[in-house]
Amino acid sequence: MKVIISKISSDFKTIVTGLFEDDKSISDYGILQGKQVIDNIKQFSNFNGSFGEFFSITSPEGKNIIVVGLGKKDEWNENKELNIGGKIYCELSRLKIKKAAILIEGNSANIAYGAFLRSFKFDKYKTKKDEKIVEVEEIAVLAKDEQLSDAEKLFECLRQEGEGIFFARSLITEPPNVLYPESYADRIKDELAKLGLEIEVLDKKQMEKENMGALLGVAQGSSKEPKLVIIKWDGTEKKEKPIAFVGKGITFDTGGISLKPSRGMESMKYDMAGSAAVVGVMHALAGRKAKVNAIGVVALAENAVDGNAQRPSDVVTSMSGQTIEVLNTDAEGRLILADALWYTQDRFSPKFIIDLATLTGAIVVALGNNEYAGLFSNNDELANNLIDAGIEVNEKLWRFPMNEAYDKIIDSPIADVQNIAPAGSGGDSITAAQFLQRFVNNVCWAHLDIAGSAWHEKGTDISPKGAVGFGIRLLNKLVEKYYEVNS
Ligand code: BES
Ligand code: MN
Ligand code: ZN
Give me the pLDDT at residue 60, please: 79
84-99 tens-digit pLDDT: 999 999 999 999 999 9
Overall average pLDDT of the 442-457 stretch? 98
Q: Ligand 3 center to residue 406 CA distance, Å? A: 21
Catalytic (active site) residue 2 = no
Q: Which residue has the higher pLDDT, 66 or 129?
A: 66
pLDDT band at 342 (very low <50, low <70, confident <90, very high): very high
Task: Tell me the β-bridge partners of 357.
Answer: 449
For residue 361, give the ligand nearest its CA: 1
Catalytic (active site) residue 260 = yes
Give me the pLDDT at residue 2, please: 96
Active-site pick, 227, 334, 438, 477:
334
Q: In degrees, to the nearest 5, what angle opens at C-alpha 76 toward C-alphas 74 and 79? A: 150
pLDDT band at 22 (very low <50, low <70, confident <90, very high): confident
Active-site pick, 98, 99, 189, 260:
260
Task: Tell me the β-bridge partners of 247.
Answer: 298, 356
Say if residue 253's pLDDT is above 90.
yes
Ligand 1 touching residue 362 (CB < 6 A): yes
Q: Which residue has the higher pLDDT, 41 or 100?
A: 100
Tell me which of 26-40, 77-91, 242-256, 374-388 is least confident. 26-40
CA atoms within 13 A on the CB side of 249: 32
Q: Which residue has the higher pLDDT, 88 or 487?
A: 88
pLDDT band at 59 (very low <50, low <70, confident <90, very high): confident
CA nearest neighbour of 314 among 324, 299, 304, 300: 324
Task: Give CA–CA dist 141/409, Å, rounded.
Answer: 56
Overall average pLDDT of the 323-329 stretch? 99
pLDDT band at 25 (very low <50, low <70, confident <90, very high): confident
Give the whole-number percent of the chain exceeding pLDDT 70: 100
Q: Whose CA is nearest to atom 3 of ligand 1?
A: 360
Q: Which residue has the higher pLDDT, 204 or 487?
A: 204
Q: Which residue has the higher pLDDT, 29 or 118?
A: 118
